Amino acid sequence: MRFAVIVFPGSNCDRDMYHAAKEVLGEEADLVWYQNSNLENYDGILLPGGFSYGDYLRSGAIAATSDVMEQVKVHAREGKPVLGVCNGFQILTESGLLPGALMRNKKLSFMCHQEELIVENNETMFTTGYKKGEVVRYPIAHGEGNYYCDQETLKELKANNQIVFTYQNNPNGSVENIAGIINKEGNVLGMMPHPERAVEKVLGSDDGLILFQSIVKNWRESYYVTNA
Which residue has better confidence, 22 or 56?
22
* Amino acid, single-letter form, for residue 42: Y
In the predicted structure, residue 223 carries a pLDDT above the cut 80 = no
pLDDT of residue 225: 59
| Burial call 123-142: b when 16+ CB within 10 Å, e when fewer | ebbbbbbbeeeeebbbbbbb
194 catalytic? Reply is yes
23 catalytic? Reply is no
Check 27, 75, 86, 144 and give the catalytic one: 86
Residue spans of the domains in the chain: they are 2-226
In the predicted structure, residue 79 carries a pLDDT above the cut 90 = yes
User: DSSP states of 92-129 as a string?
Assistant: HHHTTSSSSEEE--TTSS-EEEEEEEEE----STTTTT
How would residue 81 be classed by pLDDT, with cut points 50, 70 and 90?
A: very high
Q: Please report the sign of the dihedral spanned by the C-alpha atoms of residue 81, residue 26, residue 86, residue 165.
A: positive
Separation CA 58–CA 90 (nearest Å): 9
Q: Which residues pair with 137 in a beta bridge?
A: 116
Averaged pLDDT for residues 124-144: 98
pLDDT of residue 159: 98
Separation CA 38–CA 35 (nearest Å): 9
- Tens of pLDDT, residues 31-51: 999 998 789 999 999 999 999
* First-residue to last-residue Cα distance in the chain: 17
142 catalytic? Reply is no
Q: Percent of the chain having pLDDT more than 70?
A: 97
Task: Please name which of 30, 32, 26, 15 lies closest in space to residue 194, comparing C-alpha atoms.
Answer: 15
pLDDT of residue 227: 60
- Please count the other Cβ atoms lying within 10 Å of the Cβ belonging to residue 62: 19
Check 115, 120, 144, 196 and give the catalytic one: 196
Q: Percent of the chain having pLDDT more than 90?
A: 93
pLDDT of residue 82: 98
The CATH homologous superfamily of the domain defined by 2-226: Class I glutamine amidotransferase (GATase) domain (3.40.50.880)
In the predicted structure, residue 228 carries a pLDDT above the cut 80 = no
How would residue 144 be classed by pLDDT, with cut points 50, 70 and 90?
A: very high
Do residues 22 and 29 make contact, with C-beta atoms less than 8 angstroms apart? yes
- Tens of pLDDT, residues 162-206: 999 999 999 999 999 999 999 999 999 999 999 999 999 999 999
How would residue 57 be classed by pLDDT, with cut points 50, 70 and 90?
A: confident
Average pLDDT, the chain: 95
Separation CA 11–CA 158 (nearest Å): 31
In the predicted structure, residue 143 carries a pLDDT above the cut 80 = yes
* Amino acid, single-letter form, for residue 153: T
In the predicted structure, residue 100 carries a pLDDT above the cut 60 = yes
Strands 188-191, 82-85: pairing is parallel
Check 13, 27, 149, 194 and give the catalytic one: 194
pLDDT of residue 135: 98
